[in-house]
């Protein structure tokens, strides 16, 4: 913060960059999950692969989906903010 109680230009730039990085995590992990599953690299080498054959969502694909879910908070906050804007009653002039 500068002496006037506001943030410097560099501080605002860093804040904007971190906001975009937070938003980039979920789509990136989802893309990685889809690519891993479609390329066939989702199953890890396990000693008993028959025990894990019940689901194609195993190994790395599952991990990427979980990482996307854990990093979805910025998206959920953004959607909630947008939803509140739409549903709050507007003051009449």
Q: What distance in Å separates the CA atoms of residue 73 and residue 79, rounded to the nearest whole number? A: 10
Question: So what's the pLDDT on residue 68?
Answer: 93
Is the Cβ–Cβ distance between 15 and 40 less than 8 Å?
no
DSSP structure class, residue 50: G
Question: So what's the pLDDT on residue 14?
Answer: 78
Question: So what's the pLDDT on residue 1?
Answer: 47
Is the Cβ–Cβ distance between 11 and 29 less than 8 Å?
no
Q: What distance in Å separates the CA atoms of residue 55 and residue 67, rounded to the nearest whole number? A: 19
pLDDT averages per 10-residue partition of the chain, 93 residues: 58 78 89 88 55 63 92 91 86 73
Question: So what's the pLDDT on residue 52?
Answer: 54
Q: Model-level pTM greater than 0.95?
A: no
User: Residue 32 burial by CB count (10 A; 0-12/13-18/19+): exposed, middle or buried?
Assistant: middle
């Amino acid at each position: 913060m500068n002496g006037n109680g506001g943030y410097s230009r560099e501080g605002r730039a860093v804040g904007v960059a971190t906001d975009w990085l937070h938003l980039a995590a979920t789509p990136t992990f989802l893309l990685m999950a889809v690519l891993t599953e479609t390329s066939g690299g989702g199953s890890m080498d396990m000693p008993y692969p028959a025990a894990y054959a019940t689901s194609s969502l195993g190994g790395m694909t599952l991990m990427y989906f979980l990482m996307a879910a854990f990093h979805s908070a910025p998206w959920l906050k953004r959607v909630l903010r947008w939803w509140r804007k739409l549903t709050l009653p507007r003051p009449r002039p």
